[in-house]
Amino acid sequence: MSRNPRNQIYPASEDLPAAGRADLLVRLWRARTELLVLAGLGLVAVALLNAAGEGQWLPFVVLTSAISAPAATRVGRSWISAHFWCVVSRHRVQRVCLETTMHTRVGRIPLVWWITPTSAGEKALIMTRAGISAEEFEAYREEIAAACWARSVNVYRHRTRAQFLIVEIVRRDEAPGAFSPGLERLYGRHSWIRLRSDLEEPPDLRTEVLLPRVAA
């Protein structure tokens, strides 16, 4: 059977195995960002209450300024917005895996190791489970794009380790010279193979293009 997002990868006489309830450690791992943010806010709140109770207003002013300053600048708001969409996209990709056939027969879904913002959207580093490949994500590109409220999705597979792939979520056009707010460069550019033959490699806008001179 050819890989098609509308086809069932399991036999027609067999129902799709339902994704089981994840273990506690798995649920904590999936909600790690939210838990870290809540823990940080809790520590800040405790520090502010202690400083106010002891009459020490300098720590109170410093902490409140450190929290409110990023929201008052354009760069800070862009950083917060970009990482907010990273959290949203990670959960939406996991939901697509649960709602489609991209999970094992025992209900395990691929691991989203890391997701970082880019100048055009987000990039997620994913490790597949046994029985799932990068081609499976390529088949479900449209479902992932719709779930993430994005324009499109591109899938890249690692050249030497097929269990690793990158899901690129495209939300907008990449402006010339735009700075990527995340750690996209750590993924590298030459270690990944694009799975769409009609997808052109984006030009490196940071290098100057020399055009040949034409004699008049």
What is the per-residue pLDDT for 6? 47
Contact between 134 and 162 under an 8 Å Cβ cutoff? The reply is yes
Residue 44's contacts (CB-CB under 8 Å, 6 or more residues apart) are 63, 67
Of 181 and 134, more confident = 134
CATH architecture of 74-194: 2-Layer Sandwich (3.30)
What is the per-residue pLDDT for 18? 60
Summarize the confidence of residues 147-171 as an average pLDDT. Answer: 92
DSSP state of 182: S
Q: Is the pTM of this model over 0.75?
A: no
Give the number of other CB atoms < 10 A from CB of residue 204.
8
Q: Which amino acid is at 126?
A: I
- CA distances in angstroms from 19 to 24, 103, 105, 151, listed in the order given: 15, 7, 8, 27
The pLDDT tens digits for 77-123 are 888 888 899 999 999 999 999 888 888 888 888 999 889 998 889 99
Element housing 149 (H / E): none
Coil, strand or helix: which one is 114? Answer: strand
Label the pairing between strands 164-170 and 121-127: antiparallel
Question: What is the location of CATH 3.30.980.40 in the chain?
Answer: 74-194
Residue 153 phi, psi dihedral angles, 5° rounding: -135, 135
Distance CA(166)–CA(149), nearest Å, equals 18
Distance CA(112)–CA(107), nearest Å, equals 15
What is the per-residue pLDDT for 156? 92
Side-chain half-sphere of 107: how many Cα atoms within 13 Å?
7
With 60 as the cut, is the pLDDT of residue 1 above it?
A: no
Give the number of other CB atoms < 10 A from CB of residue 108.
18
